[in-house]
A and B are shown apart, each in its own frame.
Chain A
Amino acid sequence: MIERAPVLDFITQAILVLSLVALLMPLWVVFVAASHDYQTVNQVPMPLWPGSHLFDNLSAAWAAGNFDRVMLNSVIVAVGVTAGKICIAALSAFSIVYFNYRLRMLLFWLIFITLMLPLEVRIVPTYAVAANALGPFEAILNAVGISIHLPEWNLLNSYSGLILPLVATATGTFLYRQFFMTIPDELAEAAKMDGSGPLRFFFEVLLPLSKTNMAALATIMFVWSWNQYLWPLLIVTDHANYATATMQLQKVVPGPLFGAPPIWNTAMAANLIVLTPPVLVTILLQRWFVRGLISTDK
C-alpha cells in the first residue's frame, strides 16, 4: 500500500522510535550499571552514562558466578536441546507428511495437542519421570499383568535430565510439517524414479532444502532453551557441577551478608555475560537464514 499521508507517517515513525527506546532502555541501564563501581551504582539517582569499571565488574562476576563451569553447562544444554528438537521435529514431520499409515492424523493431533501442555503445566509428573525414567514402563507392564521390576534410572543432576525432557517439540514438528507440505510431490516422485529410498530422500533432498527453516527453528529454540529457568532449578541440586547460567544469576544478585545492599554492578555484569550467547546466536543465524531467503535456490 503506497499512500501519501505525512502526518500519519510521522506518527507511525514516532511510535516506532518510542517503542525502540522503551525496548533498549533497560538494556542500556544494565550496561551502564555494569560499568560503574559499587559506590556509584548505589547512588540515587544512578548515573545514565557508562563508567570505567566494566571489565573489572565482568571478571568479578565471572569468578563469583563460577561461569567457567556454568556457561559450559548452558552451552551443552542449549545445543543439546536445539539439536534434539530439530532432529525430532524433522523426523516426525517427515513421517507425518510422507508416509501413509492409519494412525497418522491421530499422531499428528496428539503431537499438536501437546502445544497446550508446556513444561510448566506438567512439571510435577515430568519431575517424577525424570526421577525414575523407567517407572512409567514398569507401571504399564505391571498394569497389563507382567510383574517385573525394572532398574531405577535417575535423570536428576545429569545433562540428560536437563536436556531430554525439553526436547519434545510440537512447534518444531508443526513448522517442519508446513515446510514439507510446500515441497511439490513431484520432487519426491522424481527421487523415487531416480532410485532413492525414503531415508536418502530425507537426508539428501529434504534436509538441504530446509536449511533456512532449520536456522529459524535453531534460533528460536536456542534462545528458548538458554533461558530455561524453572526446570534446571528443579532438577539440579548439585549446583557446583550442573548449574546453568540462568540459574546462577540469582546467586550473584544478593550481597555477601544478609541485609547488605545488592551488588548491582556485578549482578548486571553477570547479566551481560549470560545474555551474550543467545544474542550472538541470533545475529549469526539470522544473517544466515536471511541470506538463504534471498538467494534464489527455490
Chain B
Amino acid sequence: MAEITLRNIRKSYAKTEVVHGVDLDVAAGEFIVILGPSGCGKSTLLRMVAGLESITEGEIELGGRVVNQLEPRERGCAMVFQNYALYPHMTVGQNIGYSLKIAGVPRAKRDERVGKVAASLGLEDFLDRRPAQLSGGQRQRVAMGRAMIREPKVFLYDEPLSNLDAKLRVAMRIEIRKLHQRLGTTTLFVTHDQVEAMTLADRIVVMNKGVVEQVGSPAEIYRRPETTYVANFIGSPGLNLIAATADPDKGKVTLPDGQQLSYDTKRWPDVGYGPVTAGFRAEAVRLAPGGITGSFEFAEELGSGKLMHCNFSGHTLIAHAFGDKAFQQGAAVSFQIDPSAVHLFDAETGKRLAEADGSAMAPEPRKAIAATLSV
C-alpha cells in the first residue's frame, strides 16, 4: 500500500507558482530521493508533506489519510533540517527527548528511550553536552536522533549532508542507509547532489523548475533518461547531446557538419525523418580511427582515466578515455560510438523517443581500453 501519495500538488507564493502539479506514490518502506538543482522546489514539496507549508492545490495522503488540513505533529512525520536546527540551550539528551517531553511521557520512560536512541547513534557519551560543543557530524546525529525517537511513519530529510565536509558526508550517507535498513521507515530525502541520490535511493524523483522530470531507480535514470534535462543532469559528465537529423532508412543521424552517427534501428523503430537530439555517454565513446572526428581541446585527469573535451562542429563533446596517450590542442581525434549506446530525443520537447519493447534496460557498454589517435 502506498505510504505517501501526492496528487497534483501545486504551490504558489503570492502569484508565482513554484511547484507545478506533482504526482507521486511512495510504497511503505521505500527510500525516495528528490533530486534537482537549487531553487527547483524540492524543499517546498518536502515542507508541504511535513505540514510546514500550506498546500495551494492538490492532495497529500499519508498512510491512506488526507493530511492537507492536519498540523505537523498530527502527520506522523519527522524531519531533519539542513542546518540541524537543534535547540542551542538544551543538552543533547534534552534535544532528543523534547518531543517526548511535550507529549507528556514521564521522565523515567523518556530517559530510557533517549538512552536507547543515543546508543544506537553512538551519542551515549555526549548526552550532557550542548550542541555548540559538538562536531558537525555529531550534531547531524543528534538531529537524526530527535527524528528517530518519535518513531515516525515517515522520515523527511532536507539536504541533511550539505553542511558536512566531503569525507564525513560519505560516512553519514552510509549511516543513513544503514539506519534505513534497520528501521525500514519510509523516507523522503531531498538533495541536489546526484551521488547522494544514486547511492541512497530506491527510487529517484528528478525535479526541474517545479516539475517532476522522471521517477525511477538510479540505474533506470542513468541508463534511460526520459528527457534531455535528466540526461544532462545525471552522470558526471552528463550525456553528450547533439542536434542532428535522423535518417531511419540508413539507421543514421546526420550531425550539423555532415558527419554521420549510426543508431540501433531495432531499438528505435518509429523514428521519422527530421530533427532529433542525439545523445551518448562519455563512457560509451571509444577513441578509434574511422569514426566521427573532432578537434581536441583539453583533458581533465581523473586518475582512473581522463575526460577529453573535444570540439565537434561547435558542440563540446566529452569522452572518457583510458591510457596515457597525450594530445596536442587542436589535434584531430576520431571517435567510435557503439550504435546501441546512442539515445534519441525529440528535438523540440526534449522527450525521449519511443523505443521497442524489451530494450528499456539495455546496458551501457563499458568502453574499451585502447585509445588511438587518427588523423
A interface residues with partner B (beta carbon < 8 Å) = 184, 186-187, 189-196, 200, 205, 208-209, 296-298
Residue in A189, A209, A298 whose beta carbon sits within 8 Å of that of B132 in the complex: A298
Q: Give every chain B residue within 8 A of A194 (Cβ-Cβ).
A: 73, 98-99, 102, 146, 150
Q: Give every chain A residue within 8 A of B50 (Cβ-Cβ).
A: 189, 193
Contact, CB under 8 Å: A298 / B102: no
Q: State how many angstroms separate the Cβ of A157 from the closest Cβ of chain B.
A: 43
Residue in B51, B82, B133 whose beta carbon sits within 8 Å of that of A296 in the complex: B133
Contact, CB under 8 Å: B79 / A193: yes
Contact, CB under 8 Å: A186 / B81: yes
Residue in A184, A196, A209 whose beta carbon sits within 8 Å of that of B83 in the complex: A184
Contact, CB under 8 Å: A189 / B52: yes
Query: Given A189-B79, A194-B150, 8 other A-B contacts at CB below 8 A?
Result: A189-B81, A190-B86, A190-B146, A193-B72, A193-B77, A194-B73, A195-B72, A195-B73
Contact, CB under 8 Å: B87 / A192: no
Distance in angstroms between the alpha carbons of A205 and B94 in the assembled complex: 12
Contact, CB under 8 Å: B146 / A187: no
Q: Which residue of B lies closest to A211 (CB)?
A: B89
Distance in angstroms between the alpha carbons of A231 and B98 in the assembled complex: 46
Distance in angstroms between the alpha carbons of A68 and B82 in the assembled complex: 58
Contact, CB under 8 Å: A193 / B132: no
Residue in A186, A195, A209, A298 whose beta carbon sits within 8 Å of that of B85 in the complex: A186
Q: State how many angstroms separate the Cβ of B14 from the closest Cβ of chain A.
A: 13
Contact, CB under 8 Å: A195 / B102: yes
> Residue B166 at the A interface, CB < 8 A?
no
Q: Which residue of B lies closest to A183 (CB)?
A: B88
Q: Which residue of B lies closest to A205 (CB)?
A: B87
B interface residues with partner A (beta carbon < 8 Å) = 47, 50-52, 71-73, 77-79, 81-83, 85-89, 98-99, 102-103, 130, 132-133, 146, 150
Q: Give every chain A residue within 8 A of B51 (Cβ-Cβ).
A: 192
Q: State how many angstroms separate the Cβ of A243 from the closest Cβ of chain B.
A: 42
Q: State how many angstroms separate the Cβ of B151 from the closest Cβ of chain A.
A: 13
Q: State how many angstroms separate the Cβ of B23 from the closest Cβ of chain A.
A: 25
Distance in angstroms between the alpha carbons of A296 and B134 in the assembled complex: 11
Distance in angstroms between the alpha carbons of A150 and B83 in the assembled complex: 55
Contact, CB under 8 Å: A297 / B89: yes
Q: Give every chain A residue within 8 A of B87 (Cβ-Cβ).
A: 187, 190-191, 205
Residue in A189, A191, A195, A298 whose beta carbon sits within 8 Å of that of B103 in the complex: A195
Interface residues of A: mostly helix, strand, loop or mixed?
Answer: helix
The 25 sampled A-B contact pairs (Cβ below 8 Å) are A186-B81, A186-B85, A187-B85, A189-B47, A189-B52, A189-B81, A190-B85, A190-B86, A191-B98, A192-B72, A193-B73, A193-B77, A194-B73, A194-B98, A194-B102, A194-B146, A195-B102, A196-B102, A200-B102, A208-B89, A209-B88, A209-B89, A296-B132, A297-B89, A297-B132
Residue in A192, A208, A209 whose beta carbon sits within 8 Å of that of B52 in the complex: A192
Q: State how many angstroms separate the Cβ of A297 from the closest Cβ of chain B.
A: 5
Distance in angstroms between the alpha carbons of A184 and B85 in the assembled complex: 8
Q: Give every chain B residue within 8 A of A208 (Cβ-Cβ).
A: 89
Distance in angstroms between the alpha carbons of A192 and B72 in the assembled complex: 7
Q: Give every chain A residue within 8 A of B47 (Cβ-Cβ).
A: 189
Q: Give every chain B residue within 8 A of A297 (Cβ-Cβ).
A: 88-89, 130, 132
Nearest 5 A-B pairs (CB), nearest first? A186-B85, A195-B73, A194-B99, A190-B85, A296-B132
Distance in angstroms between the alpha carbons of A242 and B86 in the assembled complex: 49
Q: Give every chain A residue within 8 A of B73 (Cβ-Cβ).
A: 192-195
Q: Give every chain B residue within 8 A of A187 (Cβ-Cβ).
A: 85, 87
Distance in angstroms between the alpha carbons of A194 and B90 in the assembled complex: 14
Distance in angstroms between the alpha carbons of A195 and B101 in the assembled complex: 10
Distance in angstroms between the alpha carbons of A191 and B146 in the assembled complex: 11
Using known A-B contacts A195-B102, A297-B89, determine if residue A190 contacts B81 with beta carbons closer than 8 Å.
yes
Q: Give every chain A residue within 8 A of B77 (Cβ-Cβ).
A: 193
Distance in angstroms between the alpha carbons of A92 and B102 in the assembled complex: 25
Distance in angstroms between the alpha carbons of A186 and B47 in the assembled complex: 11
Q: State how many angstroms separate the Cβ of A127 from the closest Cβ of chain B.
A: 43
Q: Give every chain A residue within 8 A of B133 (Cβ-Cβ).
A: 296
Distance in angstroms between the alpha carbons of A189 and B51 in the assembled complex: 10
Question: Of A189, A190, A192, which is in contact with the most chain B CB atoms at under 10 Å from its CB?
Answer: A190
Question: Of B86, B87, B132, B133, which is in contact with the most chain A CB atoms at under 10 Å from its CB?
Answer: B87
Distance in angstroms between the alpha carbons of A191 and B102 in the assembled complex: 10
Question: Of A184, A189, A194, A298, which is in contact with the most chain B CB atoms at under 10 Å from its CB?
Answer: A194
Distance in angstroms between the alpha carbons of A209 and B86 in the assembled complex: 12
Residue in B72, B78, B88 whose beta carbon sits within 8 Å of that of A298 in the complex: B88
Q: Give every chain A residue within 8 A of B150 (Cβ-Cβ).
A: 194
Q: Give every chain A residue within 8 A of B72 (Cβ-Cβ).
A: 189, 192-193, 195
Q: State how many angstroms separate the Cβ of B181 from the closest Cβ of chain A.
A: 24
Q: Which residue of B lies closest to A189 (CB)?
A: B52
Q: Give every chain B residue within 8 A of A192 (Cβ-Cβ).
A: 51-52, 71-73
Q: Give every chain B residue within 8 A of A190 (Cβ-Cβ).
A: 79, 81, 85-87, 146
Contact, CB under 8 Å: A186 / B83: yes
Question: Of A192, A193, A205, which is in contact with the most chain B CB atoms at under 10 Å from its CB?
Answer: A193
Q: Give every chain B residue within 8 A of A298 (Cβ-Cβ).
A: 88, 132
Distance in angstroms between the alpha carbons of A252 and B283 in the assembled complex: 96
Q: Give every chain B residue within 8 A of A189 (Cβ-Cβ).
A: 47, 50, 52, 72, 79, 81, 85
Q: Give every chain A residue within 8 A of B78 (Cβ-Cβ).
A: 193
